[in-house]
Amino acid sequence: MKIICALLGFSICSGLNATEMLTNQLSLHLVDPSISRSALLAGQIKFKAVKLVPQPVLSDVDFISYDKTSHVFAVSVDTAKRMAERLGSASTTIISGEPFYGFSWQDTPFVLVAAGEPIYLGVFSCVTSSGDYPLPRIYPQKNLVSSYSTNNVTFVITLRRGESPRGGAVNDYPDMRSDPRILASLKKLNL
C-alpha cells in the first residue's frame, strides 16, 4: 500500500512538473490542412479565423534562445529534426562519408501564438524557396546539419520589405515580430 501511495504521489508531482514546463507562452502551430494554403498565403482568408493544428510544431520548451533584435532563435538538433519531420522533410544526405540531416521543406503556413493569443500568420520556408510572401518567413540558417552534431540549430524570422519581384509593394503587412505580447512571452520564458 505504501508503494502504491508513493507511486501515486510521484505521478502527481511529475504531472505538475510537466505542466509548469509547458506553459505555451510562445508556440508555432500549423494551419489545419483543410484550409487552402494558396488562398491563405494570398491573404484571401483572415488568419484569426482559421483552425490550427492543436499540437504546436514548436513550443516553450523547444526554444533555447531568441534574439529579439535579429529575430534569430535556436532549438536543439533533436527539436529541429522533429520539426522537419512535421513539415514533411525528414531526409539524410551522405557527404564525404558523413551523414547530414537536411532542412528543406515545402512552404507551410503557421500561426505564432503568444500567451494563447494568435499574433500573426507566417510561413515555414527554406532558403531555396521561390515563394514570394509579404509575411514573416522562418527558415533555417543552414540547410544541412551533421547527424553527429550536438550544436543548436538556428532559424531566422524575416519579413521582406520593398518591391516584390512579381510587382507591387510587400511592405503593407505590418511587422508583428516585435509585438509586445511576443516580447512579454519571451520575458516570461527568460529568453
Note whether 65 and 141 are within 8 A (CB): no
Which pLDDT score is estimated for 49?
79
Has this prediction a pTM greater than 0.85? no
3-state helix, strand, coil in the chain (%, to 5): 25, 30, 45
Q: Which residues of the chain have pLDDT under 50?
A: 1-22, 162-170
Q: Which of 151, 129, 20 is nearest to 79 (CA)?
A: 151
Which pLDDT score is estimated for 172?
57
- Cα(158)–Cα(189) distance, integer angstroms: 22
Phi, psi of 137 (to 5 degrees): -120, 135
CA 182 distance to own-chain centroid: 13
Q: Would you list the DSSP string of 69-108?
A: TTTEEEE-HHHHHHHHHHTT--EEEEETTEEEEE-----E
Which pLDDT score is estimated for 161?
56
- Cα(182)–Cα(175) distance, integer angstroms: 12
pLDDT tens readout for residues 123-148:
998 877 888 777 889 989 988 888 88
